[in-house]
Structure 1
Amino acid sequence: MGFLTRFSQSRQSWTILFISGLALELAAAFFQYVMHLDPCVMCIYIRVAVLGIMAAGLIGMIAPKVWLVRLVGLVTWAVSAAWGLKLANELNEMQVNPNPFSTCSFFAEFPDFMPLDKWMPFFFEPRGMCSDIPWSFMGVTMTQWMMLGFLVYLLTLVLMLIPALKPAAKS
């Protein structure tokens, strides 16, 4: 059994996935509450995509050697990373090519069964404008960093996908 196979079937790999998502959520809280950079609605949706990454990590941690559990974790990971990349790309387009006819909503539109902006407005209520670029590092905006982050998640998923889908060897 190769290194990637062993690693994809280890609790450690899924814990790293969870912790990376948690670090991004903590960074979002730092930007919002320490640096006073209000999130826009797209930023809020990107936060939800990162929560999906965290959920994938938790799912995988449950039983990383069980093929079905890994599959559910991998699908959650794939959907969250792809959706996050799509959102970050759309937000980047709004920031790089501002258009008064192409703006984002001022209000989050969560489903009725999960109104995160009502349950936890301190973290999921948008207050910023999508066209604003409030922060950059090394000439790269926060949105572009998130695009890179979601790309890394997807590339890592590809590396883990093939060995992770193989049934675990019996001990």
Structure 2
Amino acid sequence: MIEFLRRIASHRLAWGLLAASALFLELCALFFQHILGLSPCVMCIYERIATLGVIAAGLLGMVSPQKWYLRWSAMLLWGYSAFRGLQLALQHVDYQLNPSPFNVCSPYADFPSWAPLDQWVPWLFFPDGDCGEISWQFLSFSMPQWLVAIFAAYLLVFVVVAVGNLVKGRCCN
């Protein structure tokens, strides 16, 4: 089993599937924004960036997954992006389920001055929605609630693969 987990992380296909799944989520977000007309809030934009981190991790892992330093760099980026995405999605759910004047998100994205993404690529990063508004549901779950499940799954798979790569097995790679 450990050898199987080590082999998964050293194949391009696994990293490509990770990147493809996150790209699918990004395309869904753009569909909701530009086709269905749902305005993203600040938390949506931050969750979108976490998803872009998972895409970047998948692409980095595809470069040369046999090299341990690239594989571990990609795995750490994947783990960090999944963890931050889960944190952001949980905070977003809190804004939706516990609305109050003291529990609201900022109407403006807080990007660093050296990377004002909302000005550079406004069609992707400009927030103009309300974090507390539930404008879409599927099976009675809102979009941030689905993102909690998705980022938790990314994090769970990361932990399993990382443990499999940390434990010494018969495989030498």
Fold shared by both chains (TM-score > 0.5): yes
Deviations 1:13-45 (A, max 9, x none): 110111011000000000001111000000000
Counterpart of 1:98 in structure 2 is: 99
* Aligned residues: CA RMSD: 1.5
Counterpart of 1:18 in structure 2 is: 19
Please give the alpha-carbon distance, in whole angstroms, between the structure 2 residues aligned to 1:145 and 1:4: 27
What is the identity, as a one-letter code, of the residue corresponding to 1:158? V
Please give the alpha-carbon distance, in whole angstroms, between the structure 1 residues aligned to 2:89 and 2:98: 14
Counterpart of 1:46 in structure 2 is: 47
Residues 5-154 of structure 1 mapped to structure 2, 5 A cutoff:
5-154=6-155
**SS at 1:81 equivalent:** helix
8 Å CA contact 1:71–1:165 kept in 2: the answer is no
Deviations 1:111-152 (A, max 9, x none): 112111011001100010001001110011110000000000
Q: How many residues align?
A: 170
Deviation at 1:166, TM superposition (A): 6.7
Identity over aligned residues, as a percent? Answer: 44
Normalising by the residue count of structure 1, what TM-score does the alignment of the two structures yield?
Answer: 0.94
**SS at 2:75 equivalent:** helix
Gaps of 5+ in 1: none
Deviation at 1:2, TM superposition (A): 2.7
Gaps of 5+ in 2: none
What is the identity, as a one-letter code, of the residue corresponding to 1:169? C
What is the identity, as a one-letter code, of the residue corresponding to 1:58? L
Deviation at 1:102, TM superposition (A): 1.7
Please give the alpha-carbon distance, in whole angstroms, between the structure 2 residues aligned to 1:26 and 1:165: 33
Counterpart of 2:156 in structure 1 is: 155
